[in-house]
Structure 1
């Protein structure tokens, strides 16, 4: 994640809903009154809170309307879930019902099934809810596509969830908790990152009667909070970077092991964003001193790993975009185009022992030999066919034709006397071919003998595979994008058919 990833992070992580998907996924909405009536008539176990939730979901329209609603329930809420699913499955959005099995299996199913704007409606006991979020955090299964709407009953369940979720929810995983604790209006809590960097659930007042808030309805809580997205309240973000000017400069380690940012245009962008969104930052350097990549065993190294594990919010220093890195972190829009410099040993002078063959490639030599071998029999066949029609005329033998064609290719005359126009035309074409081959061969051979010939140099990525085939070993800077590309490429000019070694280079040199 490069420096302007903060813009993407603010939009994708701090805002709740990503941009809408294509219109092909938008289903027609029905009126909220029909939802409520449907629930009341279909299943008596669906109480007023469930009806109100369904009514609210049906009233969401426009760009904040979910593409998919997932209903997660456990054994204790099976009847309530059945009533909701009967009404919602065919009436609104895309709809999916998931019964809780195990935390890891259920979490993977929910997250992997999410697409577009997904609302996850949870009807589960507090212990299952806390286990789900623990598994999601431990396995980094969160998705900015998903928003959670948790429905609880009673003060005991509410207090258990409020305490258990503190510090457990990833920043950007939007969670809304609705609890019916008395006969009055349900209370509503939403998550937010506090200035100390801990995610907590905050009281938004009663549903319909917010306390010290402009929000007046649950539908507002399911939409982006602009205040949260533009004011980070002076938070201190962890930013990981490597010394790589002119992108980002880092001072030598301080006595306490910390480092300071010293310069670079990415630092200027970060400081500007900090002043706009009201945050400060500290710079941390990855222990392995590398940019990092996902490994086959599931681990992620370097700066990419720090961001993927949420140990850092942003990564700087000219990080290159790759598909594999994009699977574990989010990238900003590219803002800098770099270049690759290839160093190689000087091309060696070619061996002159076979200089007589050097003017032509082996493909050309094969073509000349085959042409010389077949032109004699072809000319003999044409002559034979013509003499059959004119019995009084005779033609030379096949061996005579073949020998004279060979004489022509080595710049010797021939002793053939041809009276047929078909033979003369073929022989004329052959003479022209021999003339061109002779001129090209003699001119190129003279140049090769006068000016020393060298092996083909490495001028582009397309030359690397051939250089490796000639015995060269590719050496790249370890733990960089180049190492990953050359070692993992399956096709194209980056696929190296030989050894690829790595070395560690001081980034300051670069």
Structure 2
């Protein structure tokens, strides 16, 4: 016979009263109660009264007490409605041979002989409640012990002690004027109520003195609700208790009736300052590339234009420059020993569209239709080729920048290579401008926020800004981090701060998120509820979840009613009751929060762009005026210096 894949063990105990008492005291001290061990105690005297003071629920004992007439009186231990152990009489039994013949000194086959005597007697032990001694051929030990499932089908109105802490939305407690805690509402409140109705028991609430969920501590003690069950101060504990290996070493758990994961609760990301929102559409790398492109496209066009001028001059020189040296000397002109340079021959083509106003060779009195005139540094100043080249280069660069912001330019070109470069540059500028304008509109109309903490890796990076992980003291999350030997969870444990990382309750933990730099680690449902109570818009729940956990009922080690609890919990889950209770409690709290706010939800309304959105534009305009004024002052100073030198 097996129960939860464990073999049932039958222990036959034939000892003196003192040794028997010592054995069961050790069973009690070491919490060795188990539903898989059945004890058959054979005594020469009535030892029931002394033994029932030692036994606890979970230790199954059938006692055979020797009578003077050679028969044995059989009784079975059971738990009463008053939570005390007593022995229930089963009847008398006459063995086929006397136990007196089985002397301890004759141990050739004592256990085998005794087992044979017990299993093959002529007198059958009747079922519970019957005391007849009808002659039957065989007796089986398991007939002495009733099935636990049938035994705990009905608790007969027994009153259990349940350890609970007030924890919304799982178990909300109310405290009366005399200090007594009574249940109010919650998911686990619904679970324990359903169990009580189904199995016919009542309960009273007992809170742990430290107010913690608890578990084994480093000094050997067991804290919190789990500790109360381990010390037999309570029959069970139910209140969002996570099943883990550390707790299973001191208590037994039912099957998990609700599963969820852990999330990170941090302060809602603050809005970014919109002063420099005009720079946000592009990253720093894109801005650097655009600046570089705007700086080099002008020189590129200038170089291509110069190459085209040289090609044109080379093509026309063979037609217009076969002049003899003699004619050159007669005209007092320099000899034409070499090809004319760009500076001396290509000035009319070179300066077209480059910021110069030149007299047309065909019409000396008519100005060429080109760009606006550029003021001369000094009146009647002699201009040199290097100055001309620099002004042409600056003119091209400035007009390329105008194209980038879609302001057009005043360049009129007839050379095909230059036109090709300009066409592709204009298309590039159009794409950049459209991308910038659309993205800028989104940045100005939709608030931009700081990067949130969405994962454990983000939490480790946030530690550089002073943030620390936070977990409720005495919970499974604390034990999980504390027990980590390496990896990310070990890193998070090293980042904890004893002064702020271990709030005594979930309520305090959520409040510390707003007042201190901590990122609170808590179960997803609990986090949703508590942040809603404080104002959901003030918090941010990470998208990444971790540490999946199941909640179970913590029971005493060896508690015989666990299998019955499991049976009822399975039926609740299959019927969808637990999920329904979860939704009901969440909806109830949400309605309560809306009532406290007067039933008015937050409404999002469209707003026009304010001065705050456009501060960057005005800032850039101001910077431009300041730079322009500084440039004017520098030019005035330079002109005065030149005049002074002249």
Report the TM range for the smaller structure's normalisation: 0.5 to 0.7
TM-score using structure 1 length: 0.53
Residue 247 (structure 1) aligned to one of 152, 170, 173: 170
For residue 264 of structure 1, report the CA deviation from its aligned partner.
2.0
Q: Note the alpha carbon deviations across 1:324-379, whole angstroms, 9 max, x for none.
A: 11111122221222343423355999xxxxxxx997xxxxxxxxxxxxxxxxxxxx
Contact 1:237 1:313 in 2 (8 A): yes
Distance in 2, Cα, partners of 1:469 & 1:147? 59
For residue 205 of structure 1, report the CA deviation from its aligned partner.
1.2
Mapping of 1:47-196 within 5 angstroms? 116-152=7-43, 154-155=44-45, 159=46, 161-196=47-82
Q: Note the alpha carbon deviations across 1:7-36, whole angstroms, 9 max, x for none.
A: xxxxxxxxxx86163xxxxxxxxxxxxxxx
Q: Note the alpha carbon deviations across 1:455-484, whole angstroms, 9 max, x for none.
A: 964212343344446653222222222222
Note if 1:270 corresponds to 2:178: no
For residue 305 of structure 1, report the CA deviation from its aligned partner.
0.5
Distance in 2, Cα, partners of 1:260 & 1:454? 44
Determine the structure 2 residue equivalent to 1:503: 503
Determine the structure 1 residue equivalent to 2:404: none
RMSD of the TM alignment (CA)? 3.8
Contact 1:121 1:148 in 2 (8 A): yes
- SS of residue paired to 1:127: helix
Determine the structure 2 residue equivalent to 1:203: 89
Q: CA, structure 1 residues 253+463, in 2 after alignment: closer, same or farther (shift >3 Å)?
A: farther
Note if 1:308 corresponds to 2:292: no
Residue 254 (structure 2) aligned to one of 317, 332, 335: 332
For residue 249 of structure 1, report the CA deviation from its aligned partner.
2.0
For residue 295 of structure 1, report the CA deviation from its aligned partner.
0.6
- SS of residue paired to 2:265: coil
Mapping of 1:228-247 within 5 angstroms? 228-247=151-170
Note if 1:285 corresponds to 2:207: yes
Distance in 2, Cα, partners of 1:337 & 1:209? 46
For residue 197 of structure 1, report the CA deviation from its aligned partner.
0.5
Distance in 2, Cα, partners of 1:211 & 1:332? 30
- SS of residue paired to 1:273: helix
Distance in 1, Cα, partners of 2:284 & 2:127? 89
Distance in 1, Cα, partners of 2:127 & 2:506? 56
Residue 460 (structure 1) aligned to one of 448, 455, 458: 455
Distance in 1, Cα, partners of 2:185 & 2:265? 29
Distance in 2, Cα, partners of 1:209 & 1:505? 55
TM-score using structure 2 length: 0.42
Distance in 1, Cα, partners of 2:4 & 2:253? 19
Paired residues, what number? Answer: 308
For residue 175 of structure 1, report the CA deviation from its aligned partner.
1.2
Determine the structure 2 residue equivalent to 1:213: 129
- Point out which structure has higher relative CO (alpha carbons under 8 A, 6+ apart): 2
Determine the structure 2 residue equivalent to 1:19: 3
Contact 1:469 1:498 in 2 (8 A): no
Distance in 2, Cα, partners of 1:468 & 1:129? 60
Mapping of 1:333-412 within 5 angstroms? 333-344=255-266, 346=269
Q: CA, structure 1 residues 288+179, in 2 after alignment: closer, same or farther (shift >3 Å)?
A: same
- SS of residue paired to 2:262: coil
Contact 1:473 1:499 in 2 (8 A): yes
Bigger CA drift: 284-293 or 165-174? 165-174
Q: CA, structure 1 residues 474+268, in 2 after alignment: closer, same or farther (shift >3 Å)?
A: closer
Q: Which runs of 5+ in 1 are unaligned?
A: 1-16, 22-114, 350-356, 360-442
- SS of residue paired to 2:21: helix
Q: CA, structure 1 residues 137+465, in 2 after alignment: closer, same or farther (shift >3 Å)?
A: farther
Distance in 2, Cα, partners of 1:456 & 1:232? 56
Q: CA, structure 1 residues 252+141, in 2 after alignment: closer, same or farther (shift >3 Å)?
A: same
- SS of residue paired to 1:502: coil
